[in-house]
Amino acid sequence: MSQQEGVIKFDLEFTPAPPLPMAELAELNGWRRILFQVGLVGCDPKRYAGLGFGNVSLRLPPFAAPPQQRPFTISGTQTGPLALLGPEHYALVRNCDAQANRVVAQGPIRPSSEALTHGALYALDPELRCVLHVHSPLLWQRAAALGLPATDPAAAYGTPAMATAVASLYADPAVRAGGILAMAGHEDGLVAFGADPAVAGTVLLTWLARAYGATGP
């Protein structure tokens, strides 16, 4: 991840607003804390020029909303270094149009720079409820050997190209069932997804365990 990454690249229409109730964020926030503890979300001075990495999101009702108008909450931009997040660290995305490179959001903080990718996935599947974007050098480097699907290396993070690449992979029933993909054009980046945070988180940790198991002593 270059020094130019970790910043918002899409057109953002942002309105300051009060945070969502913690009760709506509790499960997602619990999994985000786990991901921080195992180093899949966070900040490392030795990596990515010290920029924070990783973000998490959760779909919100109405679940039958049109594809580009499916609301979701997502961790705010550059919250990676924080071990614990509160309601003030989550944004509410109301509209996400990957092709137009535009996001409409509100809350106490601006949404993560990967909001386009999260929104593109939610637009594809009304049953999808959670997306976890993490960074794992080990799992990313072993993605091909482990058989993980991967996006086009030419697709850069936080762009319509990445959102389109992720959407293209998700169209494959096997990818949808697997619940995880690697972002070949985004160093160490992976995305896990599922019907709730526990499903997505479990898939992610299971693949991380496989990657560790394949490394030997």
Q: What's residue 180's pLDDT?
A: 98
Q: What's residue 7's pLDDT?
A: 62
Q: Which of 217, 210, 14 is nearest to 111 (CA)?
A: 14
Average pLDDT, the chain: 93
Q: What's residue 8's pLDDT?
A: 73
Q: Which of 139, 141, 137, 163 is nearest to 152 (CA)?
A: 163
Map tokens 């997602």 to a residue.
28
Check pLDDT > 90 for residue 126.
Answer: yes
Identify the CATH homologous superfamily for domain 11-212.
Class II aldolase/adducin N-terminal domain (3.40.225.10)
Please give the average per-residue pLDDT across 91-106, as a whole number: 95
Better-predicted residue by pLDDT, 157 or 107? 107
Please give the average per-residue pLDDT across 101-130, as a whole number: 95
Please give the average per-residue pLDDT across 97-114, as a whole number: 94
| Whether residue 126 has a cis bond before it, omega within 30° of 0 | no
Check pLDDT > 90 for residue 124.
Answer: yes
Distance in Å from the first CA to the final CA of the chain: 28
Check pLDDT > 70 for residue 5.
Answer: no
Map tokens 């921080």 to a residue.
36
Query: Where in the chain are the domains?
Result: 11-212
* Tens-digit pLDDT profile for residues 170-196: 999 999 999 999 999 999 999 999 999
Check pLDDT > 90 for residue 156.
Answer: no
The reported pTM is 0.94
Reported as half-sphere exposure (CB side, CA atoms, 13 A), residue 18 has a value of: 3
> What is the 3-class SS of the chain, one letter each residue?
CCCCCCCCCCEEEEEECCCCCHHHHHHHHHHHHHHHHCCCCEECCCCHHHCEECEEEEECCCCCCCHHHCCEEEEECCCCCCCCCCHHHEEEEEEEECCCCEEEEEECCCECCCHHHHHHHHHHCCCCCEEEEEECHHHHHCHHHHCCCECCCCCCCCCHHHHHHHHHHHCCHHHHHHCEEECCCCCCEEEEEECCHHHHHHHHHHHHHHHHHCCCC
